[in-house]
Amino acid sequence: MAHSQNSMEFPVNINTTQITTAYGHRALPKLKEELQSEDLQTRQKALMALCDLMHDPECIYKAMSIGCMENLKVLLKDSNSMVRIKTTEVLYITASHSVGRYAFLEHDIVLALSFLLNDLSPVCRGNLYKAYMQLVQVPRGAQEIISKGLISPLVWKLQVEREEEFQELILDTLVLCLREDATEALGSNVVLVLKQKLLSVNENIRSKAAHALLNVSISREGKKQVCKFDVIPILVHLLKDPVEHVKSNAAGALMFATVITEGKYAALEAQAISPLLELLHSPMTVARLNATKALTMLAEAPEGRKVLQVHVPTFRAMEVESHEKPQVAEALQRAARIAVSVIEFKP
């Protein structure tokens, strides 16, 4: 039977992998001290406890204010791989909240993390990529990554990494960074790398690579490189891909790449018009929008115009279509109208 008296022993530790956290607002300061301890076990356990705590944004804020981030930065350079893995996991969880992202920017953690890009442990690298991916969800984070010059290493890693999951994460990061500023990436041959990835077996990688190319070709230099490296035929080939979102991203990339004349003619040579016309009937709105725009670009060339004059009724039908979201419907109608006007343009 239970004793009604308090036992003199310490309470039983149900989870031996974690250190017991102090109660209330003493938890984080105590954890901070334990993070600095000499004993490896203590550090590991403290990190595991920290992982659980970091799901709460208030805890993150508290941790920031007492200076846990500096400790974590030091721990990133620890010799034990478990410590590093757990530290990167903590940082990944931190980056999923906006307070955490702010902490990243304040304490210059991006640079400290970048030293682990060549880490031997794949889990560690995986967490690192996840952390970066969370960070670039906001434009300020993407700018930080660009300004620290991490695009070239990431592009190189994209080529080198075997794990598809990691490739996907890196692609996600790159997609959002390229939206911000593509000049550095273009200097590091990102188009060639993405071209390789377009032919990958994994559909997610294909789709994300196409999305990245879309973002690359927003800038003029990007368009020129895309045409120069003959990516357009591959994109046209992807238009016939079975997966919907691959098709839509490919159409988007084509949409931007065909703005310049070279792109137009390259696409026309690669017979892009018929797949694009098929895409107009796709269930995904994005795909239809992108296809419409791409066809508009192609209609500016006389050869394209000739072919598309036959299909003007399709566009007219699209003009009067409605969609449940008013902005989307309006966008589709407008796009269709513009396409019709371009096709019927007489000099």
Q: Residue 99 interacts with other proteins (CB under 8 A)?
A: no
- Compute CA distances 175 → 69, 180, 217, 218, 230, whole Å: 28, 9, 12, 12, 20
Q: Is-contact 282 249, C-beta < 8 A? A: no
Q: Which range of residues in 11-19, 109-117, 269-277, 289-297 is near other proteins by CB under 8 A?
A: 289-297
Q: Residue 329 interacts with other proteins (CB under 8 A)?
A: no
Q: Residue 186 interacts with other proteins (CB under 8 A)?
A: no
Residue 108 or 330 with smaller CB distance to other proteins = 330
For 24, how many CA atoms within 13 A lie in the half-sphere containing its CB? 0
Q: Which range of residues in 33-41, 154-162, 229-237, 281-289 is near other proteins by CB under 8 A?
A: 281-289
Is residue 266 exposed (0-12), middle (13-18) or buried (19+ Cβ within 10 Å)?
Answer: buried
Query: Could you tell me how far CA 119 lies from the centroid of its own chain?
Result: 21
Number of other residues whose CB lies within 10 A of the CB of residue 54? 22
Return the ∠ at Cα 100 (arms to 95 and 105), rounded to 5°: 95
Residue 277 or 286 with smaller CB distance to other proteins = 286
In the chain, the DSSP E strands lie at none
Residue 44 or 296 with smaller CB distance to other proteins = 296
Query: Could you tell me how far CA 138 lies from the centroid of its own chain?
Result: 11
Q: Is-contact 73 115, C-beta < 8 A? A: no
In 250-300, the DSSP E strands lie at none
- Count of residues of this chain found to bind other proteins when the rule CB under 8 A is applied: 25
- From the list 203, 305, 331, 333, which residue makes contact with other proteins (rule: CB under 8 A)? 331
Closest contact distance (angstroms) between CB of 293 and other proteins is 5
Q: Residue 285 interacts with other proteins (CB under 8 A)?
A: yes
Q: Residue 105 interacts with other proteins (CB under 8 A)?
A: no
Q: Which range of residues in 36-44, 64-72, 81-89, 287-295 is near other proteins by CB under 8 A?
A: 287-295
Residue 162 or 326 with smaller CB distance to other proteins = 326
Q: Residue 286 interacts with other proteins (CB under 8 A)?
A: yes
Residue 35 or 182 with smaller CB distance to other proteins = 182
Q: Is-contact 272 294, C-beta < 8 A? A: yes
Q: Residue 335 interacts with other proteins (CB under 8 A)?
A: yes
Which contacts qualify for 265-271: CB closer than 8 Å, 24 or more apart?
A: 265/301, 266/227, 266/230, 266/232, 266/233, 267/232, 267/236, 267/294, 267/298, 268/298, 268/301, 268/303, 268/304, 270/232, 270/233, 270/236, 271/236
- From the list 92, 129, 166, 256, which residue makes contact with other proteins (rule: CB under 8 A)? 256
Residue 145 or 294 with smaller CB distance to other proteins = 294
Q: Which range of residues in 9-17, 37-45, 229-237, 296-304 is near other proteins by CB under 8 A?
A: 296-304
Closest contact distance (angstroms) between CB of 28 and other proteins is 21
Q: Residue 134 interacts with other proteins (CB under 8 A)?
A: no
- From the list 49, 63, 235, 297, which residue makes contact with other proteins (rule: CB under 8 A)? 297
Closest contact distance (angstroms) between CB of 203 and other proteins is 18
Cα distance between the two ends of the chain: 98
Q: Quick one: which H or E segment has residue 317?
A: helix 312-319
Residue 16 or 327 with smaller CB distance to other proteins = 327
- From the list 13, 261, 271, 322, which residue makes contact with other proteins (rule: CB under 8 A)? 261
Q: Which residues of the chain form contacts with other proteins (CB under 8 A)?
A: 137, 214, 218, 252, 255-256, 259-261, 285-286, 289-290, 292-294, 296-297, 300, 325, 327-328, 331, 335, 338
